[in-house]
């Protein structure tokens, strides 16, 4: 089946917002095995919207609209679609009631006459409730068996509505089912990762492997088209096993919703470890990433952002000699930053290396992660060019330091540093404790 994605809104044409809805829906179609050949953005204008709908009906089976379902006169998607299909708009009492309830819940907001426009639906359409706003979704089937789906534009309304109602609806239209699993990889270059599976991708039919590159990471989605879930799982299993063989510990999760910092925080919590960070060139980005995880406060000791040599000496006990002899960006400094940060965690006396002490109350086992490097644009030398980064970590009393040479601008070097730092900590915890 071929779906066309149509984003309606003058704010897209003026460049006021980035059209992330088209990207979201394109990914969902790919997951569903629905082909997407065209994405169109058009303004809230009757003539041009009519033109776009007619063209889409001539070349695609499914039309998925986002936007233009608001309460104002400018919002035309529903009205124009009804007109093109030669169908009436009728009031839906269920939706009217939901809108009334919505405004009762949101104290302080008053219903205006405009809002009742959102209770009008295209005759014969299926209403999809909106749990996060007032505009319902609509599914219309045309006489030519085309499917038109109208969805609200705000992502916080669109995403839950799609996951709950539209995804299952579209999935049922497909012959059989689509079953997919995720393999998330880090600590290995994007192009190297892709080379390592080139043979699998070249010969794939069912299941397929789709790689998605993120900064410093590669996500592989393995999707099988099958007659039922059991068959789907059976088809996907050997591919996932093959990927596990090839990427081994570079795979940090198989869970769709889990990211690298979640995995690290969970590993720390699982082994009752606390983490203290010492950042130079990343200046807080690493810790900010960890704090993104709800519950990070359980494992986070404290963070030191030590740009100057003085601060590295004062708070991390990096020796003056080391800084003088090897420089702030060096293996030796990274190692001392890591051990200094580890030993500095407040509230605990001394460093506990006794792992299996059987004491469930001992939540104070310390780890640390330290980053020092040259993010650019200035500061590079022949010997240590921009992108040279040393990352150190201390886990279970052992200090590990790795040297990295990243490419890209200041922002990229810092992002790569954070990802690779988290990965070094992750693999070190696994090596020490698992």
By CB under 8 A, what part of segment 315-344 binds its own copies?
315
Tell me how far, at minimum, the Cβ of 356 lies from its own copies, in Å. 26
Residue 68's alpha-carbon distances to 11, 14, 137, 282, in angstroms, are 11, 15, 11, 42
> Integer distance in angstroms from the first to the last C-alpha of the chain?
46
CA–CA gap between residue 337 and residue 312 (Å, rounded): 7
Tell me how far, at minimum, the Cβ of 48 lies from its own copies, in Å. 6
CA–CA gap between residue 394 and residue 262 (Å, rounded): 19
Q: Which CB atom, from 10 or from 244, has the smaller least distance to its own copies?
A: 10
Q: Which residue shows structure tokens 């810092």?
A: 414
Q: Which CB atom, from 63 or from 119, has the smaller least distance to its own copies?
A: 63
**Residue from 223, 225, 282, 420 that binds its own copies (CB under 8 A)?**
282
Tokens representing 353 are 């290396």
12, 39 contact by CB (below 8 A): no
Tell me how far, at minimum, the Cβ of 185 lies from its own copies, in Å. 16
By CB under 8 A, what part of segment 405-424 binds its own copies?
410-411, 414
Tell me the window of 30-38, 76-84, 85-93, 126-134 that interacts with its own copies (CB under 8 A): 30-38
Quick check: helix, strand or coil at residue 150? strand
- 279 lies in the binding site for its own copies (CB under 8 A): yes
CA–CA gap between residue 23 and residue 269 (Å, rounded): 35
Q: Which CB atom, from 127 or from 291, has the smaller least distance to its own copies?
A: 291
**Residue from 8, 33, 44, 52 that binds its own copies (CB under 8 A)?**
52
Q: Which CB atom, from 55 or from 244, has the smaller least distance to its own copies?
A: 55
CA–CA gap between residue 161 and residue 156 (Å, rounded): 9
CA–CA gap between residue 84 and residue 55 (Å, rounded): 11
CA–CA gap between residue 434 and residue 249 (Å, rounded): 12
**Residue from 48, 100, 159, 233 that binds its own copies (CB under 8 A)?**
48
Closest CA to 300 of 264, 352, 350: 264
166, 128 contact by CB (below 8 A): yes
Q: Which CB atom, from 297 or from 356, has the smaller least distance to its own copies?
A: 297
Give the x/- contact pattern for its own copies in 210-239, rule: CB under 8 A.
x-xx--------------------------
Q: Which residue shows structure tokens 């000496």?
A: 313
Tell me the window of 49-57, 106-114, 160-168, 193-201 that interacts with its own copies (CB under 8 A): 49-57
Tokens representing 57 are 């009906």
User: How many residues line the site for its own copies (CB under 8 A)?
Assistant: 74
**Residue from 124, 168, 284, 385 that binds its own copies (CB under 8 A)?**
284
Tokens representing 384 are 């240590």
**Residue from 55, 61, 244, 352 that binds its own copies (CB under 8 A)?**
55
Q: Which CB atom, from 94 or from 307, has the smaller least distance to its own copies?
A: 307
Give the x/- contact pattern for its own copies in 8-27, rule: CB under 8 A.
----xxxxxxxxx-xxxxxx
256, 184 contact by CB (below 8 A): no
DSSP state, 259? -
- 198 lies in the binding site for its own copies (CB under 8 A): no
- 368 lies in the binding site for its own copies (CB under 8 A): no
Tell me how far, at minimum, the Cβ of 371 lies from its own copies, in Å. 12
């Amino acid at each position: 089946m071929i779906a066309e994605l149509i984003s309606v809104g003058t704010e897209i044409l003026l460049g006021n917002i980035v059209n992330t809805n088209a990207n979201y829906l394109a990914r969902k179609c790919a997951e569903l095995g629905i082909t997407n050949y065209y994405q169109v953005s058009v303004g809230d204008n009757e003539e041009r919207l009519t033109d776009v709908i007619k063209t889409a009906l001539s070349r695609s089976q499914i039309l998925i609209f986002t936007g233009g379902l608001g309460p104002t006169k400018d919002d035309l998607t529903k009205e124009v679609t009804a007109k093109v299909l030669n169908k009436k708009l009728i009031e839906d009492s269920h939706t009217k009631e939901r809108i009334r309830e919505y405004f009762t819940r949101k104290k302080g907001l008053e219903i205006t006459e405009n809002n009742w426009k959102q209770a009008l639906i295209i005759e014969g359409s299926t209403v999809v409730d909106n749990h996060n706003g007032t505009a319902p979704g609509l599914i219309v089937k045309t006489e030519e068996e085309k499917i038109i789906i109208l969805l609200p534009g705000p992502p916080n309304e669109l995403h839950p509505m799609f996951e709950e109602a539209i995804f299952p609806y579209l999935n049922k239209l497909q012959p059989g089912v689509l079953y997919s699993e995720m393999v998330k990889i880090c600590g290995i270059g994007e192009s190297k990762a892709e080379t390592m599976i080139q043979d699998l991708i070249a010969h794939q039919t069912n299941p397929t492997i789709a790689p998605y590159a993120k900064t410093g990471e590669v996500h592989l989605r393995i999707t099988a088209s099958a007659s039922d879930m059991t068959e789907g799982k059976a088809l996907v299993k050997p591919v996932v096993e093959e990927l596990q063989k090839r990427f081994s510990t570079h795979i940090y999760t198989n869970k769709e919703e889990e990211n690298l910092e979640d995995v690290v925080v969970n590993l720390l919590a699982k082994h009752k470890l606390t983490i203290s960070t010492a950042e130079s060139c990343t200046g807080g980005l690493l810790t900010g990433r960890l704090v993104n995880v709800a519950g990070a406060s359980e494992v986070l000791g404290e963070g030191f952002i030590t740009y100057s040599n003085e601060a590295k000496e004062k708070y991390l006990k990096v020796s003056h000699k080391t800084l003088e002899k090897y420089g702030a960006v060096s293996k030796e400094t990274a190692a001392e930053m890591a051990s200094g940060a580890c030993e500095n965690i407040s509230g605990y006396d001394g460093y506990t290396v006794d792992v299996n002490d059987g004491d469930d109350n001992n939540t104070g086992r310390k780890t640390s992660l330290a980053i020092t490097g040259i993010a650019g644009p200035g500061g590079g030398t022949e010997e240590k060019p921009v992108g040279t980064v040393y990352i150190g970590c201390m886990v279970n009393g052992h200090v590990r330091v790795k040297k990295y040479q990243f490419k890209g601008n200041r922002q990229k070097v810092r992002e790569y540093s954070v990802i690779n730092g988290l990965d070094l900590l992750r693999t070190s915890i696994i090596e020490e404790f698992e």
